[in-house]
């Protein structure tokens, strides 16, 4: 166990991730950010300097539970104050569990501007993975919009509402091709005038040796899109999800929702004279974006030799049965910690699209999340009444609410009330999806919980009823940190509130969180150690620091 030190500067960079030059947020002058690699038990230390001239910044370490360091979770206005321009904040936290993770901005919509990278935790020395592989490949998937995030945010909060639309391109390890795409080239078999040799947007090639087994780590940090990935002629065995081992299962293609990560094993046992396409397409929304492609390059073929087979095609965007069949196959591998048999606290969360003063928002039990200027971790720990909303957010919704039709009264209010959980208690959450504002519209929402893994106990169609509890999977529920709710469906999760801190729980679709689709949990905050004052230099906690200094 050792400390791994990183010195990063976050700043704007000119970059051409899809061959069109735009402004992005990069780290140390590059996009995407550097890959962090550590061993289980290591301490990761990132000294983060903010070089964005006029904006704050924070970074969330997605999937890391932050035991004992809740101030390092990197959620603006929840775990810390945004790091101001020209200032430095040091994130110091333990890589608590081996697995495939990533990190990303968690302030405004900075993730969608490109502020992200991979975080991979290997098993500790002397430990073994429960499967064999000869080599490893790493894919970080994202979507990319040409409209700046500031313009996107303004549109989302405008009346009339301006939706961000669909992404211009999908990116694999920060590379894609807009319009003049490789996908169009091979699909239509036209000539390519694309400048795909430009270094920023050249397609990714993954070099492999024939007749070996590779572990491919895949994570999605998309702003909006749900994705599907397939590799021409190669089946994939899924072995890990969100840093937890799963019962291995074999698929031709797999779905990946924003905030999720997976490991799959492939065997390079196909004709070694050919290269093969890795194809990534959009699920769950009518796609207006071409698939992203990468090349699986069998040694010693030239990496620029285009595969002879056409790229695998993504299932129809609205083939939800296909998505569900994949999701339902994800079960815990033997040896995974089991959930408590019973719950002490049930919370039902209704996800609706709503209106506040005519603006379109998303609400949870009719409250749309807005963050305050004081980080909750500080305001709760120090009992700062001025910064706290003292109300108790609703833990249920009206029993006659019809989830199949648009809300009859869509009017909602803003809030940032905290769901206070008893320390060490077992919590069940039912995430209930519903119809949006338009008729016949209900979307996929991948929900991500900070500070914990949770067990996924079950999924169902329509409105959740008490009778569904008898169907909960208590035998081998998968442990995850992100889970999808399907259109018009519900998803049930269970977790133990055993991590002192304040934790966000939200839809990982960036514009949806920005429009209020999230809640905040707190537990055991009295047990939290001394919060570094650098995390508290804003809002009411900032005033408290000044007062203590002046007295």
- Do residues 89 and 535 make contact, with C-beta atoms less than 8 angstroms apart? yes
Q: Which stretch binds ligand ASC (CB under 6 A): 20-28, 304-312, 465-473, 511-519?
A: 511-519
Nearer to ligand ASC, 264 or 360 (CB): 360
CB of 165 to ligand ASC, least distance (A): 9
Q: Which two tokens stand for residue 224?
A: 């909006």
> Residue 436 interacts with ligand ASC (CB under 6 A)?
yes
Question: Which part of the chain contacts ligand ASC (CB under 6 A), choosing from 31-39, 288-296, 311-319, 510-518?
Answer: 510-518
* Stretch binding ligand ASC (CB under 6 A), from 90-98, 118-126, 235-243, 508-516: 508-516
3-state per-residue secondary structure call for 395-423: CCCCCCCCCCCCCCCCECEEECCEEEECC
In the complex with ligand ASC, the residue whose CB is nearer, 223 or 522, is 223
510 contacts ligand ASC (rule: CB under 6 A):
no
Among the residue ranges 12-20, 77-85, 207-215, 509-517, the one whose residues contact ligand ASC (CB under 6 A): 509-517
Report the residue closest to ligand ASC, judged by CB.
163
Q: Are 424 and 342 in contact (CB under 8 A)?
A: no
Q: Which runs of consecutive H residues, i.e. helices, occur in 396-532?
A: 510-514
Residue at token pair 């211009």:
168
Minimum distance, C-beta of residue 480 to ligand ASC, in the bound complex (Å): 23
Q: Between residues 351 and 365, which has the closer beta carbon with respect to ligand ASC? A: 351
- Give the Cα separation of 547 and 551 in Å (integer): 6
Size of the site for ligand ASC (CB under 6 A): 8
Closest to ligand ASC by CB, 144 or 277 = 144
**Contact predicate 264/239, CB 8 Å:** yes
List the one residue from 20, 443, 523, 540 that touches ligand ASC (CB under 6 A): 443
Please check whether residue 535 is in contact with residue 378, taking contact to mean a CB–CB distance below 8 angstroms.
Answer: yes
Site for ligand ASC in 158-177 (CB under 6 A): 161, 163
Residue 365 CB, shortest distance to ligand ASC, in Å, is 18
CB closer to ligand ASC, 275 vs 365: 365
- In the complex, the smallest distance separating the C-beta of residue 441 from ligand ASC, rounded to whole angstroms, is 6
Spatial neighbors of 242 by CB under 8 A, at least 6 apart, are 63, 99, 100, 260, 261, 453, 479, 480, 481, 482
Do you know the residue count of the chain? 551
Residue 225 or residue 499: which is nearer to ligand ASC going by CB?
225
Residues 6+ apart with CB under 8 A from 549: none
Instruction: Determine phi and psi for 150, rounding to 5 degrees.
Output: -65, -40
Range list of H helices, 158-288? 182-188
State the CB neighbour count (10 A cutoff) for residue 297. Answer: 19
Closest to ligand ASC by CB, 245 vs 447, is 447
Chain contacts with ligand ASC (rule: CB under 6 A): 161, 163, 360, 436, 443, 511-512, 515
């Amino acid at each position: 166990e050792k400390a791994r030190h990183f010195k990063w500067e976050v700043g704007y960079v000119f970059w051409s991730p899809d061959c069109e030059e735009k402004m992005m947020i990069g780290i140390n002058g590059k996009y995407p950010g550097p890959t962090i690699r550590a061993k289980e038990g290591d301490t990761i230390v990132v000294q983060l300097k903010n070089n964005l001239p006029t904006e704050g910044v924070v970074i969330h370490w997605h999937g890391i539970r932050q035991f004992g360091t809740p101030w390092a979770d990197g959620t603006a206005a929840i775990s810390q104050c945004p790091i101001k321009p020209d200032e430095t904040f040091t994130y110091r936290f333990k890589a608590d569990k081996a697995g495939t993770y990533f990190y990303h901005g968690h302030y405004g919509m900075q993730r969608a501007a490109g502020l992200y990278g991979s975080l991979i935790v290997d098993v500790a020395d002397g430990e073994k993975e429960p499967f064999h592989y000869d080599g490893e490949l790493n894919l970080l998937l994202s979507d990319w919009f040409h409209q700046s995030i500031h313009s996107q945010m303004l549109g989302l909060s405008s009346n009339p509402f301006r939706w961000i639309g669909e992404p211009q391109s999908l990116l694999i390890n920060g590379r894609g091709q807009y319009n003049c795409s490789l996908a169009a080239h091979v699909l239509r078999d036209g000539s390519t005038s694309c400048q795909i040799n430009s270094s920023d947007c050249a397609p990714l090639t993954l070099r492999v040796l024939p007749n070996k087994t590779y572990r491919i780590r895949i994570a999605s940090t998309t702003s909006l899109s749900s994705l599907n990935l397939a590799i021409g002629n190669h089946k994939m065995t899924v072995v890990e999800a969100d840093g937890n081992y799963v019962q291995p299962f074999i698929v031709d293609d797999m779905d990946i929702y924003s905030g999720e990560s997976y490991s799959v094993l492939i065997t390079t046992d196909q004709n070694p004279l050919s290269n093969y396409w890795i194809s990534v397409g959009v699920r769950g929304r009518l796609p207006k974006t071409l698939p992203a492609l990468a090349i699986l390059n069998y040694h010693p073929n030239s990496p620029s030799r285009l595969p002879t087979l056409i790229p695998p095609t993504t299932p129809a965007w609205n083939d939800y049965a296909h998505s569900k069949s994949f999701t339902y196959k994800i079960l815990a591998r033997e040896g995974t910690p089991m959930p408590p048999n019973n719950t002490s606290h049930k919370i039902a969360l209704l996800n609706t699209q709503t209106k506040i003063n005519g603006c379109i928002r998303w609400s949870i039990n009719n409250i749309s999340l807005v963050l305050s200027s004081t980080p909750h971790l500080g305001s709760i720990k120090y009992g700062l009444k001025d910064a706290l909303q003292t109300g108790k957010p609703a833990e249920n919704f009206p029993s006659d609410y019809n989830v199949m039709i648009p809300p009859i009264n869509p009017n909602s209010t803003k809030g940032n009330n905290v769901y206070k959980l008893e320390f060490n208690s077992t919590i069940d959450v039912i995430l209930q999806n519903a119809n949006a504002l338009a008729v016949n519209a209900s979307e996929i929402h991948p929900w991500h919980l900070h500070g914990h893994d949770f067990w996924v106990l079950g999924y169902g169609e329509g409105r959740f009823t008490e009778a569904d509890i008898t169907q909960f999977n208590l035998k081998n529920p998968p442990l995850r940190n992100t889970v999808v709710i399907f259109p018009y469906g519900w998803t049930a999760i269970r977790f133990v509130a055993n991590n002192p801190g304040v934790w966000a729980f939200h839809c990982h679709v960036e514009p949806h969180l920005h429009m209020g689709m999230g809640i905040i949990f707190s537990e055991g905050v009295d047990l939290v150690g001394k919060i570094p004052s650098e995390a508290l230099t804003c809002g009411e906690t900032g005033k408290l620091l000044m007062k203590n200094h002046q007295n």
